[in-house]
Each structure stands twice: as C-alpha cells, then as structure tokens.
C-alpha cells in the first residue's frame, strides 16, 4: 500500500493494520517515507486518535526498531517508575536506591528537562564527576552489581522515537496523548522491565493541566503496557504547586539525600513512599501495596 493511502485511511478515521503502521514508521526511519508525509500522518493521528490495538502496535514497532534490554537471566523482577514531570519532581533519585535495597531491580532510562520541568539526568549532572553517559554494557554491569542504574536515551534505544519526536516538535503534534503514550512506553519497555509504575501529574505545573486529560493518558499507558504483558499501575498526582521544598538541580539532589535520611518535606516523602510501595508490590516483593510502605 502506498504511503498516501495509509495517510488517507487515518485521515478518514479508519483503523490501521499493524502492517500499515509498520510501513509508515519503518519507512520514515529508513528515509523512504518523506518528512512531509510523516507530518501528515502525525496530524491525522492527533485529530483522529488511535484504537488500543493501533496504539499497542505503534508502541511495539517503535520499541523493536532499537535494542531491547533483557534481564530475564537475573533472579527476580525489574521495575521502573516514570513521571510525566513537574516542578520539583525528583522522586527517581530516592526511589532507585530504596527499591533496589528492597530487592527489586530498577533500570531507569531517564530524560532531561522538558519545558519548565527538570530532568533526572540534569539533576544527576549537578553531582561533580557523575557520568550519565554510560554504554549499555556499563548500564547492565551497574544494574547487576548494585541493583539500580540510570542512563540517558542512547542511539540504540528507541531510535524511531527520537526521529519522530523531532518532527512532532515542529509540526504541532507533541500534544497527542496517543503519540505521547507510544513515545514514553517505547523507551520504558526497552529497559527490559517486568512492570512499570506511572506517575501522571495533573495541575497548573504539569504538562497535562486537566484531571480528565491526565486520567486519559494514564489509561492509555496502562492498557498499552498490559497488552505487552507488563504489570502496570498509574498514580495521578497533584502538581498545582512544586513538589518538596527546593527547586533547582543541585538543591533537589540535596533534598533527596534528606529524604533518604528520614528528613525532608512531607509531600515529597509521602509520594516516594507511595511509589516505592507500588514498585515493591508489582515487583513481587510484597503481597499487598500496604506491606511495601
């Protein structure tokens, strides 16, 4: 089928087959589908949406376009947490060591700041000498040695997402919840995790301002993960004010150390406890969420 026919079918509201989605994604990454054609398909997707089957297919195709890590030879579960981001959101720096110490592996492919939100990698680089540019071999070795590891997105991980996002950024299609879901999940599932805890922010300081939009995005990601046999949970959390007492990369690192030592802001501490409890639960370390607290 010609690319223009796939664009027309999506424009007219038809459900695309896996083969059609694969043709346009793989064609764009290998250069046989032009950027203006991909732009048209992205806009049609934003306006028409996707079915659950289409979204799962898109996510898996983007995932499999790159390297997918495999930790199945190691004992136990691997679980990660993903946040859609907000001012003062720093929970990853607390969760990784806490959950790893509790016996659940935490492989994290982290990001940088997006808009007004700070990125985990930016916070880590506030620590003198801290290297976030690990190879995949170093990432695996660190995970095996201490139970948690953080890395930025490499050229091998979800390369299709990097190309597609660059185009979305200049074509007014960043806001599509379906494309957001595929972008997030294709990177997160490349970590080789058994389960994923999602922290979907809502409120004035979040990417999604309205509760119904946050709930919809959360439902898309949970359904997509479940279709790919992952244990999934989504928490909708408030971002009408900054999380914790400090904003700024170096200050937030210091605040995370306070939390790990039993001090720090009550809201940040409670969110870390809640997310860690869910990570322990879906990681098979506890029989209930409450036990994980």
Q: Where are the domains positioned within the chain? A: 3-49, 79-155+190-292
pLDDT at residue 87, rounded to an integer: 85
SS3 (DSSP) at 196: strand
pLDDT at residue 115, rounded to an integer: 61
Q: How far apart are CA 126 and CA 132, in angstroms?
A: 11
**Which is the catalytic residue, given 82, 123, 230, 231?**
82
CATH of domain 3-49: 1.20.970.10
Residue pLDDT, tens place only, 114-137: 666 668 888 999 999 988 888 989
Based on the residue annotation, tell me whether 168 is a catalytic residue of this protein. Answer: yes
Torsion angle, CA of 69/72/77/78, rounded to 10 degrees? -10
Evaluate if pTM is beyond 0.85.
yes
| Residue 237: C-alpha distances to residues 100, 120, 199, 202 (Å) | 23, 18, 7, 6
Q: How far apart are CA 110 and CA 133, in angstroms?
A: 11
Rg (CA), the chain: 19
3-49 and 79-155+190-292, same CATH topology: no
**Which is the catalytic residue, given 80, 89, 161, 199?**
161
Residues lower than pLDDT 70 in the chain: 113-118
**Which is the catalytic residue, given 39, 110, 176, 183?**
183
SS3 (DSSP) at 289: coil
Decide if 157 contacts 107 (C-beta within 8 A).
Answer: no
Task: Pick left, alpha or beta for residue 18 (phi over 0 → left; psi -120 to 50 → alpha; otherwise beta).
Answer: alpha
**Which is the catalytic residue, given 81, 105, 123, 187?**
187
| Residue 206: C-alpha distances to residues 44, 175, 203, 211 (Å) | 25, 13, 5, 10
Number of H helices, E strands in the chain: 12, 5
SS3 (DSSP) at 106: strand
Decide if 224 contacts 50 (C-beta within 8 A).
Answer: no
Question: Within a 10 A sphere around the Cβ of 186, how many other Cβ atoms?
Answer: 26
**Which is the catalytic residue, given 10, 90, 123, 168?**
168
Nearest of 254, 193, 200 to residue 86 by alpha carbon: 200
Domain 79-155+190-292 has CATH 3.40.50.300: no
Based on the residue annotation, tell me whether 188 is a catalytic residue of this protein. Answer: no
Based on the residue annotation, tell me whether 116 is a catalytic residue of this protein. Answer: no
Nearest of 206, 199, 207, 208 to residue 232 by alpha carbon: 199
Token pair, residue 39, equals: 């732009």
């Amino acid at each position: 089928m010609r690319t223009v026919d796939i664009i027309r079918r999506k424009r007219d509201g038809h459900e695309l087959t896996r083969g059609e989605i694969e043709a346009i994604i793989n064609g764009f990454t290998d250069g046989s589908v032009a950027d203006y054609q991909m732009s048209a398909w992205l806009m049609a997707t934003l306006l028409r949406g996707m079915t659950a089957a289409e979204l799962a297919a898109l996510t898996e195709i983007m995932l499999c376009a790159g390297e997918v890590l495999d930790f199945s030879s190691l004992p136990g579960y691997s679980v990660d947490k993903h946040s859609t981001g907000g001012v003062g959101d720093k929970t990853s720096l607390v969760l990784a060591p806490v959950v790893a110490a509790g016996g659940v592996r935490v492989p994290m492919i982290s990001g940088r700041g997006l808009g007004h939100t700070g990125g985990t990698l930016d916070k880590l680089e506030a620590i003198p000498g801290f290297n976030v540019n690990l190879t995949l071999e170093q990432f695996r070795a660190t995970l095996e040695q201490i139970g948690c590891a953080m890395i930025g997105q490499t050229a091998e991980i979800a390369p299709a997402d990097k190309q597609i996002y660059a185009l979305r950024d200049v074509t007014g299609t960043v806001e599509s919840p379906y494309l957001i879901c595929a972008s997030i999940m294709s990177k997160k599932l490349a970590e080789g995790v058994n389960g994923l805890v999602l922290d979907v922010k809502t409120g004035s300081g979040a990417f999604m301002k309205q509760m119904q939009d946050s709930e919809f995005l959360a439902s898309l990601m949970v359904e997509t993960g479940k279709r790919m046999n992952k244990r999934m949970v989504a928490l909708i959390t408030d971002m009408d004010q900054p999380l914790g007492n400090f904003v700024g990369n170096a200050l937030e690192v210091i605040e995370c150390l306070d939390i790990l030592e039993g001090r720090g802001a009550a809201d940040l501490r409670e969110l870390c406890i809640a997310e860690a409890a869910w990570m322990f639960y879906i990681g098979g370390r506890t029989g209930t969420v409450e036990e994980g607290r």
